[in-house]
Amino acid sequence: MQGQGQPESFVTISGVTKKFGDFTALDALSFSVREGGTLALLGPSGCGKTTMLRCLAGLETPESGFISIAGKVVFDSAKGINLNPEERGLGVVFQSYAVWPHMSVVENVEFPLRVRGISKEERRARAMEILEIVGLGQYAQRSATQLSGGQQQRVALARALVHKPALVLFDEALSNLDAALREHMRLELKALQDKLGFTALYVTHDQGEALGLAETIILMNAGRIDTSGLARDVFMNHRTSFAALFFGLNVIEADKLPGMTGTKFIGFQREHAHLSSVTDSAAQNGDLIVPGRIATRSFQGLVDEYAIDLAEGVSIRVLDGQGQFSPGDQVHVRIKAGNLFRLND
């Protein structure tokens, strides 16, 4: 977290708290984003990520805290500063495309310039320029609602970028697209950011989207930061059981496993477990070997995913490419010592 007003922090959030009645949606949240960087606020529904975006955009007013964008203080509870959304110099792309059906594509994109008092000639030229960049120049005169979902999302993106904001906020912006189109739009967004140089903040519950778009990730839990860092580090180096579970790892209380004691939790990746019908004679000292029963089997393409019931009411999930086990089979599960890690909670 950079200090308030330091130039290396393009966006600075410090001690932001937001409540809805007795519910604390954001609990003294602090983080920063470098200029030209990409940060994803990641987490399950209700964790506070969209509330943080709305506070940053000026659509919600925090009870306390400090927010600056490009060196400009846009919110400071101590000094009574709270700029309107249009004064904050940012663009927002929402989950719903929010295109206006009574307007053409170019008129939709022009709208932010119209409310800023830009002349008709200039706003038409700038709208056409950004439409060409997002690949919609040929659809400028078409009704926006006649476009496909992916094209409407590009209209929303062009509208957010037309006034050349230094910061663009994306609130679950790709969630309404199908899987193939989401992947395509991720690549387009990265290329567009490289071309235009804006700073981006993404809000998403989709870990694949966060990992694919952002260089830095903040994983949120109940209005607080659970884990933060470079995307690869956040994904690979799990320090809490919440983070491990969110990223799909197996998490087990240590005292429920043979040879382990204490109240800590043990985690391991689903693909790091080896299944066999007999005790593995190749097991090394420190490897974890536990008996279990196959509960369900789900074909995932290159591998099968098994739900396996262990002793003490513990269930784990394992990815295995052999395809030789069926529900009801008794198996032994081995995880190499090097693939086991202790969690902080």
| pLDDT, the chain, mean | 87
**Neighbour count for residue 279 (Cβ, 10 Å):** 10
CA dist 99 and 47 (Å) reads 28
pLDDT of residue 301: 84
For residue 181, name the pLDDT band (cuts at 50, 70, 90): confident
Top-level CATH class of 11-242? alpha beta
Residue type, 53: L
Top-level CATH class of 249-343? mainly beta
Q: What is the pLDDT of residues 312-333, one digit of tens each?
A: 778 999 998 887 899 999 999 9
pLDDT at residue 262 greater than cutoff 50: yes
Q: Kindly list the domain boundaries of the chain, sorted by start residue.
A: 11-242, 249-343
For residue 4, name the pLDDT band (cuts at 50, 70, 90): very low
pLDDT of residue 203: 93
